[in-house]
Every structure is written in structure tokens, then in C-alpha cells.
Amino acid sequence: MKLSVQLIVLLLASLFSVSGVAATCKVPDSGTAYWSKKVTGSSKALGDALLLAKLESRPLSSQEIQKARDWKESIQRSAVEVNTVFGVQQGRGADRLVTLLLEQNLVDGEWQSNTESLAGLKFAVNDDLDDLRGDRVHFGAKNTKDTVYFDTESREAACAAVMGCEVPGGGTNVCQSYLEGWSDAVASYRNAVREENALQMAKLSIAYSEAWDRYLTEARSQTLFDRLLTAGIYSDYLKESHFQLPPEYQFFAFHPSVLMEYVDDAADGSQFKAALAVEWIGINAWQSCFGANFACGASIVSTYSDRAGVDDFGHGLMFHIENSYSFGVTERDGDVGYFLTVDLLKAFEDKKSEVKGWQEKANELLGKE
């Protein structure tokens, strides 16, 4: 096999030098076009099969496994050709990278790879003038990495011959196009899954953004201290690198409110009055109250109002409904009071300031400036 490929390369090189009628390589597109039928077709066929199996949450069918085998054979043949064009010994060049790639994905010839972490190849031009090893093709997987270097300067005639074109000159390099096209063709089997993952991530990003918008517009208003408390309780959750939904619960401490309170035992004219309140500690399930389709919460509260006939301070419980309305009961030395409030702070708060407050707290937790 090795000898036959070498003979083909030499024959093409001879034809190239004698005929003088070969087309000029359209660098860099020529590499992509050259590998299109040899490798890219089988890679994309496998990629489509992987995506379909992923979407249907099932293993590959027998026909899809055959596509994996076709892809395996095509990239193995291509690796032998690459080694021959660059005069690299088998086992030390492109075939070594292909072997690593197959080990990541195939077990006894059967596809086993997790489509969330598909390995591939990546070509890179050597831009370090002190590094004489040449341009490189890199293989990278979670626990395995390897790099093979190729002399693209001295092998241009061989690259042009096998691609059936002339060396274009003008600073372009046919071998670089050849290697980049090969790397992209081999790795293109993962494009369909990656594109679908990107689409799902985009949809997820939109959904999460909408959830945060609802949190900032529908949930109970929070002071800076409330936000710090909530962010601190959820700090591990908010530090995670992937998208996160808003916190399920809001927490409150020293939260001020204005309410209307009725105390029956107060003197006439002082029974129903405006009062100031402080929620010492509270919690609010801003989306669902124990599975119900409405929000609810509760706080320990103290109220103050200047009333004749009873103590000015009352202490009790406050209950929150639908993030905007609160009611509760207080006690003053045996005198019971009842109150109702609308979240005035929510009505007047600046949403942009609230968003900025959450961003600043998130950056603080993540250690960003």
C-alpha cells in the first residue's frame, strides 16, 4: 500500500513537470476542494448520523455504524497519503494522529464516543522563526494530546503534484493548504453535532435571559443588602461556569416597607394609620408557592406608627403574595394589629440599577474587576 501511493505521487510529479499545463492552485481553497471527495464526504455522512442518533437519544444503527467504518477507512487512507507526500515514516506522522483520533471514538471498530466531546485535528502555521520543526497538525482530546510537524517549505512540489496543480508562488504555500484542508476534512465529522449544540446553546441563552428578565421585573424588589444576602446564599451556584437560571428563592434582611395598619385597641382616630415596617428576615418563592401557580413568601416583621392608646411598636409576621402584595398581623402588649401593603419600592425602583447591582455582585463573586 505504501509503495503504491509513493508511485502515484512520483507519477503525478512527473506529469506535472513534463506537461506544464496543470492549473494553478487556488490557495487556500485548493486544499478544501482536494479533500472534499476523499474525506469530507464520509466525515459529513458520519456527522449527520451522529446528530440524528443524538437527537433521538439512541445508539447508532447498523447503517450508521457502517458510515463510521467508511469514515475510518477514508481517514486512514488519507493519513498514508499525507505521510508519503511529506516523506514521513509510517507510524510517526499523520497516521499517528489518526490512530489517536480513532482510539477516542471507536472500540473494536464500533462507535463509542460521547458526542459532547468529539476530538479532532487542527492545522497551525509555525510563526516562530526560531522553531525549525515546520508547520504542525495538532490532535487534542480531554486526556490525550499530540502534535506532528511537517516541512511545508521543501515539499511544495510534491503537494502540488498530488493536488494536480502548479506551485503558485507569491508567498503562498500549497502544502499549508493541503494540510489545513486535510485536518478540516478529517474533523468535519463533528460539525453537525457542534452546530446543533451551538443552536441549542443559543436557544438556552435566550430562555435563560428571559428567565432573568422575569426575575428582575416580576420578583419582589430587593435592596442592595437583600441582593448581597441572596447572592451570598447562592454563591456556589452563581460561580458555576455554565448558564444559570435565576435563584429559586429571594432572601431579605432589614428590608423596609410602608404599609397601612389597623389596631382596634388604639384610640379613635388612631386605629387605621400608615406605618413603617422592617422585615428582619424573610424568604420569597418568587415563581411558585410549593408547586402552585403563584408566588408566596413570609417575613418576621416589626412595625412602627405613632398611635394614641397603644404601644407604637408591633411585632409579628408578614406574608407575601404574587411578589407585590403583603399582609400580616402584629402584636403590641396584647393588642393585635392587622396590616396590608403594596410594594411601593417595586413600583418606583430603577430596573437598570437593579440589573447593574446584580452584575456587580456576580462580578465580585467571580473575582472580576
pLDDT tens for the chain, 369 residues long, are 444 544 444 444 444 343 343 466 766 678 888 999 899 999 999 888 888 888 888 888 888 888 888 999 999 999 999 999 999 998 889 999 999 888 887 666 566 656 666 888 899 998 776 667 789 999 887 778 899 999 988 898 899 889 888 776 666 788 999 999 999 999 898 888 878 777 777 777 788 888 888 888 889 989 999 999 998 999 888 777 667 788 999 999 999 988 888 888 777 777 888 889 999 999 999 998 888 889 999 999 999 988 877 888 999 999 999 998 899 999 988 888 898 886 655 555 555 565 556 556 555 655 555
Q: How many CB atoms lie within 10 A of CB 45?
A: 19
Q: How many Å apart are CA 329 and CA 152, to the nearest integer?
A: 83
Tens digits of residue pLDDT in 194-207: 787 777 777 777 88
Question: pTM of the predicted model, to two decimals?
Answer: 0.55
Tens digits of residue pLDDT in 19-36: 343 466 766 678 888 999
How many residues are present in the chain? 369
Q: How many Å apart are CA 16 and CA 23, to the nearest integer?
A: 10
Give the domain ranges of the chain.
2-196, 220-369
Q: CA 100, 135, 177: angle at the middle one, nearest 5?
A: 90
